[in-house]
Chain A
Amino acid sequence: ILNVEQSPQSLHVQEGDSTNFTCSFPSSNFYALHWYRWETAKSPEALFVMTLNGDEKKKGRISATLNTKEGYSYLYIKGSQPEDSATYLCALKDSNYQLIWGAGTKLIIKP
Chain B
Amino acid sequence: SQTIHQWPATLVQPVGSPLSLECTVEGTSNPNLYWYRQAAGRGLQLLFYSVGIGQISSEVPQNLSASRPQDRQFILSSKKLLLSDSGFYLCAWSLAGVEQFFGPGTRLTVL
Contacts and interface: CB of A to CB of B under 8 A. Distances in A.
B102 A44 contact: yes
B104 interface: yes
Contacts of A93: 97
Contacts of B90: 43-44
A103 to B, nearest CB: 3
Contacts of B103: 43
Contact of A98 (B42, B49, B102, B105): B49
Given A34-B99, A43-B90, A99-B100, A104 B43 contact: yes
A80 B98 CA distance: 29
Interface residues of A, number: 17
B101 to A, nearest CB: 8
B42 A43 contact: no
A11 interface: no
Contacts of B12: none
A46 B94 CA distance: 12
Contacts of A91: 44
Interface of B: 32, 36, 42-46, 49, 90, 96-105
